[in-house]
A and B are shown apart, each in its own frame.
Chain A
Amino acid sequence: MNVEAPLNLIAELTYRCPLQCPYCSNPLAFRERREALTAEDWGRVFEQASRLGVVHVGLTGGEPSTRTDLEEILEFAVAADLYPHLVTAGVPLDPERLRGLAARGLRSVQVSFQDAGAAGSDRIAGTRSFEQKLRISESTKALDLALTINCVLHRENLESVGEIIRLAEELGADRLELANTQYHGWALENRAALMPTREQLANASAVVRAAKARQSENGGGPKMLFVLPDYFSDRPKPCMGGWGKLAMVVDPTGRVLPCHEAGEIPGLEFWNVKERSVEDCWVSAPGMNAYRGTDWMPDPCRSCPEKEIDFGGCRCQAFRLLGDEGLTDPACALSPHHSEITNAREIRTDGFVPRR
């Protein structure tokens, strides 16, 4: 098998986060896991990843700013010639600390909002954090770093899309990610409470389209990303641009994974950077090779002309919904199990459980 060099490293520095978003992609049992990598360990990972071909590192979590040694970790990323990008919920970061990170070579920051206003955002996050997010976004711009605003969308905030766009414009964001909920981790637990209606999605698409048209007339404004959720689009998402192809995740325990969910699939063996080199973990771990490329595919994917486009969809979704990660993602309308999706998208209940 021909293993490509990855370009992107997703460094999950911690599971800790002061927020309690109901769609958190942390594993359900994350409290039993131990954060295992020191700043020096991360330094070794960055250096080996860079040699393997990685150019970009997303410093993420959980909430990366809960680590008091984030500064040191960032310095290691810069020393390894990686482009450092921070993914934060804005707390417990503060503008003073952000200034220090910028001085150490941080290039780009993604700030997540839960809704367009304080009331909605703080309620969904389960924590007062909206004002702080504004301050971090403003500081990011003032420090001349790239600013991405991210908002995960679901039934309780899809109608605020217009206001979220306005917020991102006011903050001078370079990018706005309007990310429809993917049902993994806590989001799957809360699926019926988060599930949007078709009408909400159609309205939100129209709002985004109108905003893009307005932008191309006036010039400027954040580049907007909005993709219909896989539950409503009859085709799966191309998982991470391919399993073990472009992006490498290192989780807080040190395991190298093709995505942050894959470590939850029992029976897949992934290797740990505490025990082996990054290259070994990427190229040779049995779990990494289990679903690389297209040879593993069953029908309908095997004979499908789209298999190089979506790679058969998400292995984790096939595992969660069908109990077998080797099957075609049921989000695909060609899957014999597609009714798992079409039934679920009609079930709605009120009130989500916050992440515990």
Chain B
Amino acid sequence: MANDIKILTEHINIPGIETFEVYRKAGGYNAVEKAIKKMSPDEIVEEVKKSGIRGRGGAGFPMGMKWSFLAKPEGVPRYLVCNADESEPGTFKDHYLMKNLPHLLIEGMIVSSFALGANKSFIYVRGELMYVVRILEKAIEEAKAAGFLGKNILGSGYDLELVVQPGGGAYICGEETALLESLEGKRGNPRNKPPFPAVKGLYQSPTVVNNVESIANTPWVINHGGEEYAKIGIGRSTGTKLISASGHIKNPGVYEITLGLPVDEFMNSDQYLGGIRDGHYLKAVVAGGSSVPILPANLFYKTANGEDRLMSYESLSDGGFPTGTMLGSGGFIAMDETTCIVRNTWNFSRFYHHESCGQCSPCREGTGWMEKVLHRIEHGHGTMSDIDLLVDVAKKIEGNTICPLGDAAAWPVASAIRHFRDEFEWHINHPNEATKPGAVYMGAEILA
């Protein structure tokens, strides 16, 4: 099986790969040559469509489809914006890719911009990652000096200016329309949709926003063709996915996996996470970044129908909200039995409270409310009615907000209560035990 094909990270261990020379020697920028010299923009869009690749930023929207929605009115510029804001707790794969393989992203930006007819493209980088901004800027200078960027690229007449813009460090600016507002120099409030960015995006012009990893896949698609790409993976989950794994596992880090890899193998084989640290066992998993529903170990390994779960969009979401989760952005957090779910839920909630932009009432008020109630429960001041209150508040936020941050704040709370209700009840009924340092509910026995 082509189980360990590396589309993105094949060359990552070559010393000096972050420099233009080494990257070029390893076959880098071939895609730019091929695209600009031998292909038309529409042909590239067609290949990306054929590849079946889905957006890696979280929502999993088919990339080729997004590209083909881009409006092309006469005389109006079009923009490509790369979303490198990566701030979801648990997700750190774009960071890894950019710092180690800056030229891969630049190459992807060039071919994607060419395909979309953009002459000015942006990479919006999370504000905390200033050193990555410098790495990218250096890579851009190198590519420019080699004639792959700037005016008249490779003598083709195609111009492209690439701008790296650091953000101000707000999670909400990862939401694509908030990102565009921020890029325009405004307050990063998500916009009302429609209009979608494909029609009115940056500076009211048609714009495509794609994740770093999505864009980094395009050189391979151009070099090998969309059909080849679509052969990798499983079903509608084509290609590979970067998973940033953290928590109580033996080998935390960033992994490029072929979609469709069995969850069990990913979790327990030495090639990947190597299982839970010795002497402990898996309690729960957040499979795709803090906003996706948390799953208890049993539902993580097997779907409610008893099928083995795979690392793919479809398999992870099998069972919907009641018993499934989502692949999301690939922020994989494994928790062993020493993890207090209440505390963890409060921690996530605190994050969303802190990061809500405050535009729409359900999210602005609801995130703070949930955090306060969870804080109370965690600190031994909860009441039984608080549990249903949390469920109800989450329900009233979900789906009723401007942007998906509201949902992202509601899901972790709703799912934690759905799967770990007894733990919440124990906290409420045993405030003295529950507030002892390190106390964790474990069914019959209490770890303290």
A pairs with B: no
Interface residues of A (CB under 8 A from B): none
Interface residues of B (CB under 8 A from A): none
